[in-house]
Amino acid sequence: MPTVTMTVNERQVSGEVEGRTLLVQFLREHLNLTGTHVGCDTSQCGACVVHLNGDSVKSCTILAVQANGGKVTTIEGLASGDALHPMQEAFHEHHGLQCGFCTPGMVMSAVDLLSKNAKPSEKEIREWLEGNICRCTGYHNIVNAISHAAQQGDAA
Amino acid sequence: MPDGSVGQAVKRREDRRFLTGKGRYVDDIHRPGELTAVFVRSPHAHATVKSVHIDAAMASPGVIDVFVGADMEQDSIGSLPCGWTVTDRHGEPHKSPPHFPLVRDKARYVGDHIAVVLAETLEQARDGAELVEVDYDELPANVEIVKAVGGPPLHEEAPDNLCYDWVLGDEAAVDEAFAKAHHITKLDLVNNRLIPNPMEPRAAIAEYDGGLDSYTLWSTSQNPHLLRLILSAFVTGIPETKLRIIAPDIGGGFGSKIYCYAEETVCLWASKRVGRPVRWTSDRSESFLADAHGRDHVTHVELAMNETGEFIGLKVATRANMGAYLSSFASSIPTYFYATLLAGQYRTPAIFCNVKAVFTNTAPVDAYRGAGRSEATYPLERIVEVAARELGMDPAEIRRKNFIRPDQFPYNTPVALTYDIGNYEASLDEAMRMINYRGFSGRKAESQARGKLRGIGFSAYIEACGIAPSSVVGSLGAGVGMWETAQVRFNATGTVSVLTGSHAHGQGHETTFSQIVSDTLGVPMENVEIVHGDTGQIPMAMGTYGSRSLAVGGSAIMRACGKIIDKGKKIAAHLLEASVEDIEFKDGNFTVAGTDRSKSMAEVAFTAYVPHNYPEDLEPGLDETAFYDPLNFTYPAGTHICEVEIDPETGVTEILDWVAVDDFGKVINPLIVEGQVHGGVAQGVGQAMLEHGIYDSGSGQLLTGSYMDYCMPRADDLPSFKVGMIETACAHNPLGVKGCGEVGAIAAPPALINAITDALGIMHLEMPATPEKVWRLAQTAAAE
């Protein structure tokens, strides 16, 4: 079985995986980073979004071996110590989450949006979230949270 | 002063763990030595299972065992029951054919459970499942409601596929009203099948402890105690004392996680059979196939009016799809949660409803957010709209004319409910103000100038929730009581554990319930811990469904807090050398009336556990349990109005504005309540414009079995919502609350279809109003 090595949340990790092992399986099952979720099997729901080399990716659509040598950030790596990342703070402040299952993917996706477009319009936020499904919030407060985070700055 | 003030938009306490990836869902949990289960499912809608060959699968690497229905039969595992007996129009109980966790004779829908493969890893279990060979004899299948009666029979117990033929209301009175009607409006409509799709797929882990002869089941359940009751009393025979069910963080339910399902039952049984923990997590495809679906009605409705447009009679005939088997509460949804709501907000004096429930070769259908009440609101608010158009009346005015007036409460409807309180005109007026109804014609003209079609749609809904008085539901056929439990347990240091039967899976109970306890007992919120979702910790409970958590579960908490205060007064009186009658409790302090002598709640709690100086006749401890059985349903009601613009060239409908004005009674946390409204409306918009569970009528295959085919609402399908509220406090529970979780899904579908048909200048179109459908109608309208 191939061995993969990568940096996850600023920690060097490695493990033996099958060729078919997905990045999300490697994160959840090998590293016990269960904050990244699996909500579908067709790469649509976005619950599994993480950052790979600075870009948001669906970790259910990438093989662990494809991430070999890469730099991965998961929801567990976003806060610094006890201080929440400004995007996490904005989701809390504006009630951008209910059941919490889509939340890690939403937050990771939103952080990447602001890194690429610091001041998105409401329409741009809604279009960016096309790959993240939430069944609880009706998106209203998620969009609100991301708008506010953008206005505050430093949430990219 | 306590920091959790009732009525304030307190930020949620549960957020931090979810935002940092530390939520703990069932699939995040692992048990030592666990095996993974994969189900072999029927690829056929209807087929006799002649034989199942497991040898090749058993020989596959990592496979430990493979089981079929006969193995469970050998261990006397029973049928998954339906917990509500509906009595039909002839006085007979509904047809209740068996529903075995693994089939014993034939498969009745695509996705039905044929066998289970247990292996060391998920991949090995999947590989093993591929090697199970099933010999099927295909049978004719039917997936359509209208072809069910007289179609290929699914069950010996129901040869004509009729589960029940049920009626409610006074048919003679309705006939009389129709005979003297000035105008009758008629409508045929379909309530489209929905697939619930909480973002977390169902999952289960079962572990058997041979030493204690007991089981633990981690399950994605909205109501772990109810699940335990069903599994113990009806399915496995495992005593409740030997079965602990834990429902940890759950990623949404919307009704679909109420039920006792085949998969968790199989895991539970197999964990003893193989002597190792057994885990199963649904993938999304399985969730489409085998979660209980929602809605799926075909309805004919007629409304009779007098000369002035007053409603004098309503007649409804509905055929409801039960699917292939009866899910846990399936029978009650198109009856007692449906026909009882057909009065809506109106004074219609005579109503009659007939419901025929049928079996088809589709997944079981049960409650989904708004269950029954959404299905009732849709035909009612559609026919009122069509009636207004036929009579040339304003849609607001026809509603206003027929509303039950504030001075008429309590109001007995002709369909068995007593509304306690409401003010329907107030919510209509506020919604019309918020959307600037007067300005609509100008906006419509402006759209028209741009070649666009603009429409406005009303929905004045009511629902019955806070379910429900046990004696009432018992008399209607429910197999369980519908009270709720709470235990308020002080610790010696003054902190409080609140054990509640109301499970939270997104609703924010940890915050709302803490606010109530904090305010009532004068304890800071950070000293209050809400515990839910574990039958090993919490007294017998009934769980979360029908928007009952605050109205019923919250009321139980209030009652337990009252007992704490009563006992605290006795302890404080002793400490203060005063009589109990003279002790007043306020803001966390027990004070001798008219003096400044007082003891804090923390001092009293400490004394209760270190009772060195203590009343002689009083038990130590400060730990009170209460059970609350509601006196009536609660009746949230309100008006939603939406405005849409259609591009006739593309058929795309854009929702320009959405106003929701709801009466939830007292609001504990407006932030959370508004979030519930947003989410409910989004699901209602999904039903009206995007979502439709479709089976192929020839093959019986589910055509909408993934997110590629079943259109979930995305962020760019929805607008921002404007939420307003009016308040008439519920007259019969201690919090004055009504419930808010389902109203959006109830109010939204007719509001949208009313708006879209208004824009197109037509009377009706079936949900979902997809761009293709809308485009065709727009083209036809343009051609005329």
Of A36, A88, A137, nearest to B675 by CB-CB distance is A137
B171-196 pLDDT, tens per residue?
Answer: 999 999 999 999 999 999 999 999 99
pLDDT at B783 > cutoff 80: no
Q: In the prediction, which pLDDT does B358 show?
A: 98
User: From the CA of B68, how many Å to the nearest CA of chain A?
Assistant: 26
**Angle, helices B743-760/B670-685, rounded to nearest 10 degrees:** 50
- Please say whether the beta carbons of B26 and B281 come within 8 A: yes
- Please say whether the beta carbons of A145 and A96 come within 8 A: yes
Q: Return the CATH number at B617.
A: 3.30.365.10
One domain, residues A36 and A100? no
One domain, residues A125 and A63? no
Question: How many C-beta atoms lie closer than 10 Å to residue B96's C-beta?
Answer: 19
Q: How far apart are CA B171 and CA B744, in angstroms?
A: 32
Picking from A46, A76, A106, the residue at the C-terminal end of a domain is A76
| Residue closest to B523 by CA, chosen among B427, B397, B404, B622 | B622
Which chain A residues are closer than 8 Å to B744 by Cβ? Answer: 138
User: What does the mean pLDDT of chain B come to?
Assistant: 97
Q: In the prediction, which pLDDT does B2 show?
A: 42
Structure-token pair, residue B133:
């060979």
One domain, residues B689 and B571? no
Residue A131 lies in a domain: yes
Structure-token pair, residue B54:
């497991």
Which chain A residues are closer than 8 Å to B27 by Cβ? Answer: 34, 38
Omega prior to B410 cis, within 30 of 0: yes
Chosen from B11, B19, B36, B368 to mutate, greatest number of chain A CBs within 10 A: B19
Q: How far apart are CA A133 and CA A103, in angstroms?
A: 10
Residue B173 lies in a domain: no
Structure-token pair, residue B178:
């129709």
Q: How far apart are CA B272 and CA B254, in angstroms?
A: 31
One domain, residues B206 and B64? yes
- Host domain of residue B531: 483-628
Which chain A residues are closer than 8 Å to B34 by Cβ? Answer: none
Q: How far apart are CA B687 and CA B756, in angstroms?
A: 14
One domain, residues B492 and B521? yes
Question: In this structure, what are the phi and psi dihedrals at residue A133, rounded to the nearest 5 degrees?
Answer: -100, 130
With bands split at pLDDT 50, 70 and 90, how would you rate the model's confidence at A132?
very high
Picking from B234, B266, B290, the residue at the C-terminal end of a domain is B290
One domain, residues B579 and B728? no
One domain, residues A40 and A91? no
The C-alpha torsion from A76 through A81 and A84 to A86, rounded to 10°, is: -100
pLDDT at B780 > cutoff 90: no
Q: For the range A5-9, what are the long-range contacts, defined as Cβ-Cβ under 8 Å and sequence gap of 24 or more?
A: A5/A68, A5/A69, A6/A67, A6/A68, A6/A69, A6/A70, A6/A71, A6/A72, A7/A70, A7/A71, A7/A72, A8/A33, A8/A72, A8/A73, A8/A74, A8/A77, A9/A33, A9/A72, A9/A73, A9/A74, A9/A76, A9/A77
One domain, residues A123 and A90? yes
B683-701 pLDDT, tens per residue?
Answer: 999 999 999 999 999 999 9
**Average of per-residue pLDDT across A7-23:** 96
Count of A-B CB contacts under 8 Å:
181
One domain, residues A91 and A146? yes
One domain, residues B646 and B685? yes
The C-alpha torsion from B740 through B745 and B746 to B748, rounded to 10°, is: 120
Answer whether A93 touches B (CB < 8 Å).
yes
Which chain B residues are closer than 8 Å to A143 by Cβ? Answer: 715, 720
Q: In the prediction, which pLDDT does B260 show?
A: 98
User: What does the mean pLDDT of chain A come to?
Assistant: 97
With bands split at pLDDT 50, 70 and 90, how would you rate the model's confidence at B1?
very low
Residue B443 lies in a domain: yes
One domain, residues B342 and B406? yes
With bands split at pLDDT 50, 70 and 90, how would you rate the model's confidence at A120?
very high
Q: Return the CATH number at A99.
A: 1.10.150.120
Question: In this structure, what are the phi and psi dihedrals at residue A6, rounded to the nearest 5 degrees?
Answer: -155, 170
Answer whether A78 touches B (CB < 8 Å).
yes
| Residue closest to B404 by CA, chosen among B388, B418, B383, B390 | B418
One domain, residues B105 and B213? yes
Give the rounded distance of the alpha carbon of A113 from its chain centre.
11
A96-108 pLDDT, tens per residue?
Answer: 999 999 999 999 9
One domain, residues A69 and A105? no
pLDDT at B504 > cutoff 90: yes
User: From the CA of B505, how many Å to the nearest CA of chain A?
Assistant: 5
Contact: B706, A75; criterion CB under 8 Å: no
Structure-token pair, residue B36:
């993974």
Residue B706 lies in a domain: yes
Contact: A39, B200; criterion CB under 8 Å: yes
**Average of per-residue pLDDT across B359-366:** 98
One domain, residues A9 and A65? yes
One domain, residues B284 and B305? no
Q: Return the CATH number at B263.
A: 3.90.1170.50
pLDDT at B4 > cutoff 80: no
Q: In the prediction, which pLDDT does B638 show?
A: 98
Q: How far apart are CA B763 and CA B720, in angstroms?
A: 27
Contacts of B436 (CB under 8 A, 6+ apart): none
Q: In the prediction, which pLDDT does B27 show?
A: 98
Residue A81 lies in a domain: no
Residue B51 lies in a domain: yes
Kindly report the three-state secondary structure assignment for every residue of B141-187.
CCCCHHHCCCCCCCECCECCCEEEEEEEECHHHHHHHHHCCCEEEEE
Residue B275 lies in a domain: yes
The DSSP bridge partners found for residue A80 are A83
Contact: B23, A101; criterion CB under 8 Å: yes
Q: In the prediction, which pLDDT does B450 show?
A: 97
Contact: B11, A20; criterion CB under 8 Å: no
pLDDT at B762 > cutoff 70: yes
Strands B35-41 and B113-119: antiparallel
A48-75 pLDDT, tens per residue?
Answer: 999 999 999 999 999 999 999 999 999 9
One domain, residues A108 and A135? yes
Residue A126 lies in a domain: yes
One domain, residues B437 and B488? no
Of B20, B28, B197, nearest to A79 by CB-CB distance is B20
Chosen from A29, A40, A143 to mutate, greatest number of chain B CBs within 10 A: A40
Q: Secondary structure of chain B: what % helix, strand, coil (to 5)?
A: 30, 25, 40
User: From the CA of B738, how many Å to the nearest CA of chain A?
Assistant: 20
One domain, residues B594 and B716? no
B534-591 pLDDT, tens per residue?
Answer: 999 999 999 999 999 999 999 999 999 999 999 999 999 999 999 999 999 999 999 9
User: From the CA of A74, how many Å to the nearest CA of chain B?
Assistant: 8
One domain, residues A63 and A126? no
Structure-token pair, residue A79:
């806060």
One domain, residues B547 and B670? no
Of A33, A130, A136, nearest to B506 by CB-CB distance is A136
Half-sphere exposure of B613 (CA within 13 A, CB side): 8
- Host domain of residue A54: 3-76
User: From the CA of A93, how many Å to the nearest CA of chain B?
Assistant: 7
User: From the CA of B720, how many Å to the nearest CA of chain A?
Assistant: 5
One domain, residues B672 and B692? yes
Structure-token pair, residue B281:
């997590």
Number of domains in chain A: 2
Query: CA of A18: which chain B residue's CA is closest?
Result: B123
Question: How many C-beta atoms lie closer than 10 Å to residue B240's C-beta?
Answer: 15
Of A41, A91, A135, nearest to B19 by CB-CB distance is A91
Answer whether A101 touches B (CB < 8 Å).
yes
Question: How many C-beta atoms lie closer than 10 Å to residue B579's C-beta?
Answer: 9
In the chain, the amino acid numbered A9 is N
- Please say whether the beta carbons of B460 and B341 come within 8 A: no
Residue B745 lies in a domain: yes
Residue A109 lies in a domain: yes
Number of domains in chain B: 3
pLDDT at B781 > cutoff 80: no
- Please say whether the beta carbons of B295 and B365 come within 8 A: yes
Picking from A58, A76, A94, the residue at the C-terminal end of a domain is A76
Chosen from B8, B18, B257 to mutate, greatest number of chain A CBs within 10 A: B18
Chosen from B15, B659, B740 to mutate, greatest number of chain A CBs within 10 A: B15
One domain, residues A65 and A111? no
B298-321 pLDDT, tens per residue?
Answer: 999 999 999 999 999 999 999 999
User: From the CA of A5, how many Å to the nearest CA of chain B?
Assistant: 22
One domain, residues A36 and A13? yes
User: From the CA of B200, how many Å to the nearest CA of chain A?
Assistant: 6
- Please say whether the beta carbons of B238 and B269 come within 8 A: no
One domain, residues A18 and A72? yes
Which chain A residues are closer than 8 Å to B252 by Cβ? Answer: 98-99, 101, 135-136
Which chain A residues are closer than 8 Å to B251 by Cβ? Answer: 37, 39, 99-102
Contacts of B215 (CB under 8 A, 6+ apart): B206, B207, B208, B209, B238, B242, B243, B244, B268, B271, B272
Q: Examine the predicted complex and report whether its ipTM is higher than 0.85.
A: yes
Alpha helices in B551-669 (DSSP H): 555-576, 601-609
Q: Return the CATH number at A53.
A: 3.10.20.30
Of A44, A92, A143, nearest to B707 by CB-CB distance is A44
